[in-house]
Structure 1
Amino acid sequence: MATGETGFDDVGYDLISVQYHALKAGHDYGQYVRDAENAGKREIADFFRRVMEEDSARAKQCHEFLKELATSGDAGPALT
């Protein structure tokens, strides 16, 4: 698998990027839930909770894929 100058292959970098953005968004969604609850918009707060759960699951799946890449030897030196 080809690696860039950082030692990360494209797939590893992509997974890390998706994981980072999912985790960062999850942090922001907590505020969105509070905002909706404070506005009395329970349905919207529930929507933000679902989105937060989906991003949490997405980040976890990225983590699992990264572990697989690290143990397969296909990830380049940055993940092994």
Structure 2
Amino acid sequence: MEKDLLHNKEYDLVSVIYNASQAADTCRQYMQDVQGDQECESFFNNVIDTNAQLVQKGKDLLKNRL
């Protein structure tokens, strides 16, 4: 059996990085819809920050494994 060029864990990290990045981008778009609603703005900002942290952590983990 041919060895995979990208192991499952690396693929999984890339997938999480991608999805967290997409979630942050989507919430940035949603921010336009909730302008003036402080509670929703705070929520979406929290989602953006959390996903940005996940993206960075995932990138660090991936860099150390490639």
Rounded Cα–Cα distance in structure 1 between residues aligned with 2:40 and 2:26 = 15
Which of 32, 35, 43 is the aligned partner of 1:34?
Answer: 32
| Percent of pairs with identical residues | 28
Gaps of 5+ in 1: 71-80
Kindly indicate which of the two structures has a greater share of residues assigned to helix.
2
Number of residue pairs the alignment of both structures matches: 64
Residues 33 and 46 in structure 1, CA contact (< 8 A), matched pair in contact too: no
Q: Report the Cα distance in structure 2 between the residues aligned to 1:47 and 1:33, rounded to whole angstroms.
A: 10
* C-alpha displacement of 1:11: 0.4
Task: Spell out the pairing of 1:1-80 with structure 2 (5 A cutoff).
Answer: 3-4=3-4, 7-37=5-35, 40-70=36-66
Q: TM-score, normalised by structure 1?
A: 0.74
Contact 1:22 1:59 in 2 (8 A): yes
Q: Deviation string for 1:19-50 (max 9, x for gaps)?
A: 0011111111111112111xx31111110001
Runs of 4+ with >4 A deviation: none
Report the TM-score when normalising by structure 2: 0.89
